[in-house]
Every structure is written in structure tokens, then in C-alpha cells.
Structure 1
């Protein structure tokens, strides 16, 4: 077991890769009464074309199957796993993203029993055609609920513009039509391919004895048999700037128009873990300087009534994609989009990009980061979803401090390009 101490934040992380390939990370927090466990597989909604384990040819599975599989793992032949966690004094849940599926619990008692339950239920699939067909109606209602959410439609509208061929633009839950195609056999195929321990990690944070807990987890896995590890082969379409849909819109039953601008990353991101985290953090700092609440760009739009408190922006980076988006409710959606695009394209000459502002933004980011480390959920989710090689969440303060203005301007020049921009609007439906 590897022990890594981070003196600047007084944290010690224990890690071990078990013989079956499972990566286990333990972070003791002696001043917490709660323990939080997160069991994650590197498998999400975009992984719909792959070579099944033990086979040679690529297959295409129905959209939404990763999310469907997440739902079905909780249902066993004789019981519902949620009820078992409840009897053990724990709350449990799960979620599926574009690239990950995670199962979790939090409790103050019966920690070992709950960790055992978490690992065992995820590693013991039970699917029947009857139970699969029963679930389809439930998930169809969930899909429809999100289709009625204007903000959800806005977000996936811009994703469809930026990634018209990539599965990123497809709703995580799939469509009503696609989930109707899912069979129990499909679920087992996806499960055995992506839920192998070598494609998963377990992160536990809270009150614990790391040596004892690691031995407990080690013994749990030693009692189970898994097939030989194989590298997972995924396929994603190759896209260029020419594939980007520059503008699109829909009408919904809303009171005010909504607008969103997307900026698609066209270059590959750094492979090295430290440089990858530095690249991601630099773009986050760049966007904060350009559009944060104290920036000239923000104040100009806000004071003129172009935006309100609904304005937001974010940057997303994961395997096979990275992009930024900027959105707001606004009475002038086209003007809003034009303003955002104009501010982005003129970022190189923006007076906001100076040493003083960067220093303040870095201090603010470090402060927010350190504050977030008081959340067990935040730590576990960040460690499990963001893989940076040997660089971890606990190195973020050093990464932030290393970012200089020259590098920030380099990132601005390479990331912000006119051919990478797109706009999407939602207008009120005049017929309703």
C-alpha cells in the first residue's frame, strides 16, 4: 500500500492497486464522524461503441444503456439494495455521467458492512428480461421529464451543435425509442466489459483505520474470480471544425428566450497528468477573468440588462472532448450571443488579463479549493472522476500557483478560435 502525505493541507492518501486491477484510495479524516464511499467505473453514456470483452469486433449498443445499467444494478433477485443500506444506517445513491458511473453510500455506523454491501452489489449483476422491460417505463418518464426542462434542452442543444457526430450530444438517459431496444443480454455485455475491476476505482473518505480497511477490501476481492484483464477498445467518430453547426434554435413553452454559446476545444489536451490539470485550471482562470462577476464584460452586460442572475459559464474536460459554454435568460438572445463571441475573440487584448487580476483570481481559486476540502463528497467525486496520473486533487494549489500570465495567454490563443464557436437559442412558443 502506497502512502502519500500532503503537508500543505495535512492530508495522507493511501492507495493500492489490487491483483485484479481495482484501484483503491483511502483518505482518513479523524475529525469526521461520517464515512463516504464511492465505487466508480470508467464507463458512461458516450461509450456506446466498443469491442466486448472476449470478442474481436466492434458493436453498437442502444443509447442510454449505461444509465439503464446503473438503475438495474440496485435490483437483486430477492431484495432492493437501497433497503439493505437503509437497514445498515446508510444513505445510498448512484449517478451516470458522460464518462463515469458511480455508486455511493454515506454512514456513521456499520462502515465495514456498508463498504462490503457497496462492493458486493455492484459486482453481482442480476438482470432478467422481465425486470428490464419493467424498468423501461420508469426511465421513459425520467427522459420525458428532462425533455420538458428548458435548461436541459439548452445544454444539449449546444452539445448537438458542437458534437453532431459524437455521442456526447445524446441525452445521458438515451431516448424513449433507444431504451426500448435494451435487453438483459445487452446489459450483461456492457457490464462484463466495463465493470471489470481494472476499469474501476474505490474511494473511501472519513473516519477509518486505513491499514485495517485496506486489508478488509483486499480480502473481499481475493474471494472473487474475474476473467483476465483486457484493454477496452472504444470508438468515437473523428470530428473537425467543419462539422460544427454554427447556429440552431427550437421553440418551447417558456416566458423568456434562452441563449447559449459553445466553444469547442479543437486541439488535443496534454497527456501528462500535471500538464493536463494545468491546462484545465488555466482555462478556468481565463474564463473567470473574462466573465467573472467583477469583470468588465460581465458588468457591461448586466448593467445594460442584457443578462441577469441566470448567466453562467463552465468548462468541461474529459476523455475525447473539452469545451466551454456561456448561457443566460435574456430578452435579446442574438445580441447576447454576439456579445459573448465578440468578448471571446477580443480576449487577447482584454485589459482583464494582467498580473494583478491573475494573482487575485488564483488566490480566490485556491481559497475555494481549500474550503471544498471540508466536503467528503467533493473529495471523493473529484478523485474518482478526474484522473491526472500521479497528479491528484491535492496538488491543485501548487498547479494554480504555477500558472503565469504568459501561459494563460498561450491557452487563450490556442483554445479560443472563431471556427470553434457555436450558438443555440430557445424562443417562446408563440402558439402556446
Structure 2
């Protein structure tokens, strides 16, 4: 590890000879230890170029999620069971941009770390077990199809995007799943799981030099191909979409399709998190008016998402007045663009964001989960904190008037 690969607070990072990034958070006062491997390949990875082939290679929807399910199964047995026997709690998840494998423990950290580093490099996809897994994943798909929050979210994305795979549920559907077999899994694994797409994150009472040595076991592989995406129009596909699920009160999401960000995506996320709070937070003029008019009983939930080829924000609420809420939101957006953000509001929300960051640093899992997101943009915690400390009101105001457009608004409702 180079001398400059360390922040003043002791947080360190390195890159292995195989190309894997490593982030370390020594927290000697904690008993808990946690490690995660982030694979920068998620459900959006459905097509790529392949050497010696004239046409791009395509994978069925849900392939990355299926790999996550099967990778714990090794030639020698079940990695889940081994983690448990070694005193660790392990799990994994897939989203649009990444697949993450992680564990936490108090003892046997290095035994569990070596297990984590080993099984992500050694797939064992058998035909019979792959077929058996389909029933498990089908149950998961059915469960999410019956979830109103899940349904309203993917309705929003399917109305917002014409082609981009962000509109496709992470696990795919039953039809796509039938196209997946052990050969597809192996082929997709070979393209997705390459060391330059890996990030190792460790936090707790850890010994960094020993982890660096263990991380050296990551095998070298040829760099993988980048995913391919069909060109996405700037327009939304539909501005309103409604579905029925027989719930007692309707729920809705209001989304704005935005231009994808290629440079400094973490800085964009920080600016957007501030803007969403300014626009629709509990102390915002929008929420005060929406509450007074009885459109809302509580503030809208909000989130910003950006990845390769897509960016959007979404506001989530409950009640019959989704249309009125969206119109009121546009009204307050226009006012903010005309009048600007008050210095007092901006500074208060920035301090709130910094406070959240500091509180995250007081938890082993908080630091690991935060770095999982930051690693996707090749950022360390120290870089994120510097962004938080130096963000300017003028930058937020410029983004506000540029990113939110009336003709890019989509309203999704589930009744």
C-alpha cells in the first residue's frame, strides 16, 4: 500500500495486483467486524460485446440475480452454512448496478474473509441445482409482484424509460427465467465477475496489513467487457400510469427522468439529496402547503438514483391526491428556480447531511454499507466527506433548474 493511501482518520484504501479496489475502516473500539465484496455488475448487465463474435452477447433478464443465488453453492458444500459454523452472519443482494456479498462477525474474521474471497471466484453451476433454484426465485418474484411499494416503483420506471434495463425488475420474470441454465450462468459470470469490477470493504477491529495480504489471493483475469445499452430517448414513455392491487389507500410515486451523470456522480448525489430536502422535506414550503390543503399527512419519501445510462429522482406518498401533489411540487420547483434557495435553508440541510455522515461513521455496518455505494463511483469515505464540506449553494441552484423538467415528470399510482 502506498503512503498516501490513507486519510487522516486512519481510513485506508489500496488496489491489488489483480485490479480489485480495497477500502478499510479500522475501528478498534468495536467488537463487530464486517466485510463485503461489491461486484460492479447488476441486473442492468444484459448485453455486452464478446471477442470473436460479430453480434453482441445477450443474457436473459434476471441473470445477475440468479448468479447471486447460486454462487454460495460450492463444489465442497454450502458457503452459507460454513459462514454460520464460523460464527458469521452472511448475506447477499443484487440491484440494478451491483451484486454484493457480505458477512459480519465478532470472531474468526480472517477465516470468514478468506471464505468470502474464495467463493466469489469459484462458481459451481450444476444443471440440476440450477433448475431447482428456479422455483425459489419464482416464489421471490411472486412475493414482489404482490408488494404495492415494489409495483408502484417499477410502474414508474416502465413509464419513464423506453428501453433502458433499469425498467426491468431485478429478478426478471418467469418467462425470462426459463431461458437461464447452468451454461448461461457460467458465461455471464465470466463476463461480469472480473477483479477490476470488485471492491473489498472491511470495517471494525481489523488489521489492515493482514487483510491486504489475504486480498492478494484474488486471481488475475482479463478485463471484462462493458455492458451495452440501447439508446434511450430523453422523453418519458408515459406521464401517468395506474395499477390495481386492492389496497385500502392508494400509494403513488412522482418521478423526474434526468440526464445521466458521467463525471463526479457522488457529488451529484450529494447535491440532489440536498435539493430533495429543500424541495419536499418536512420544513419545506411545499410540504407546509400540501399539509394545510390536506393533500399529505406526512412528508414525501424521496430518493435519487444514477447509474450507467440513467438518472432519476422519485417522491413517494400515500393518498388520493397524487395528481394534486405533483402539480403542487411543480409549482414550488418553479418558485425555487425563480427565487433561489435561502442561505439559511441550504446551510441547515448541509449540516444535517454532515451529521448523518458522522453518525454513519459510528457504526461498523454503517461505514460498510455507505462505502458500498461510494465504491460504485470509485470514491472513498474521505472524498465523500470533502464533497459534503465544500458543496456550494450556487451549484445546487444550477442543478435544480437544469435537472427537473415539467415534461420529464411521471406519476405512478397503485390502488
- TM-score (normalizing by structure 1): 0.91
Q: C-alpha displacement at 1:270, in angstroms?
A: 4.6
Gaps of 5+ in 2: none
Q: 2:270 aligns with which of 275, 278, 281?
A: 281
Q: C-alpha displacement at 1:126, in angstroms?
A: 0.5
What are the Cα deviations for residues 61-101 of structure 1, in whole angstroms up to 9, with x where unaligned?
11011011100011123421111001100000000010000
**Residue 319 of structure 2 is aligned to residue 327 of structure 1:** no
Aligned to 1:409: 397
SS in 2 for 1:382: helix
Q: C-alpha displacement at 1:118, in angstroms?
A: 0.6
Aligned to 1:368: 356
**Residue 394 of structure 2 is aligned to residue 394 of structure 1:** no
Of the structure 1 ranges 170-179 and 16-25, higher mean CA displacement relative to structure 2 is found in: 16-25
Of the structure 1 ranges 205-214 and 88-97, higher mean CA displacement relative to structure 2 is found in: 205-214
SS in 1 for 2:10: strand
1:400 and 1:17 map into 2 onto residues whose CA distance is: 25
1:281 and 1:411 map into 2 onto residues whose CA distance is: 11
Aligned to 2:344: 356
SS in 1 for 2:29: coil
Contact 2:34–2:202, Cα closer than 8 Å, also in 1: yes
Gaps of 5+ in 1: 428-432
Q: C-alpha displacement at 1:13, in angstroms?
A: 2.7
Aligned to 1:300: 289
1:140 and 1:214 map into 2 onto residues whose CA distance is: 39
Aligned to 2:225: 232
Aligned to 2:165: 167
Of the structure 1 ranges 289-298 and 93-102, higher mean CA displacement relative to structure 2 is found in: 289-298
Contact 2:371–2:381, Cα closer than 8 Å, also in 1: yes
Of the structure 1 ranges 364-373 and 308-317, higher mean CA displacement relative to structure 2 is found in: 308-317
Q: 2:240 aligns with which of 224, 229, 247?
A: 247
Aligned to 2:29: 31
1:397 and 1:216 map into 2 onto residues whose CA distance is: 28
**Residue 309 of structure 2 is aligned to residue 317 of structure 1:** no
SS in 2 for 1:394: helix
SS in 1 for 2:326: helix
Report the CA distance shift for 1:252/1:390 in structure 2 as closer, same or farther (over 3 A): closer
1:66 and 1:342 map into 2 onto residues whose CA distance is: 41
Q: 2:203 aligns with which of 202, 205, 213?
A: 205
**Residue 335 of structure 2 is aligned to residue 337 of structure 1:** no
Q: 2:254 aligns with which of 247, 251, 261?
A: 261
Instruction: Give the RMSD, CA atoms, in angstroms.
Output: 1.9
What are the Cα deviations for residues 32-56 of structure 1, in whole angstroms up to 9, with x where unaligned?
1111000111100011111247756
1:96 and 1:111 map into 2 onto residues whose CA distance is: 24
2:362 and 2:305 map into 1 onto residues whose CA distance is: 23
2:309 and 2:31 map into 1 onto residues whose CA distance is: 39
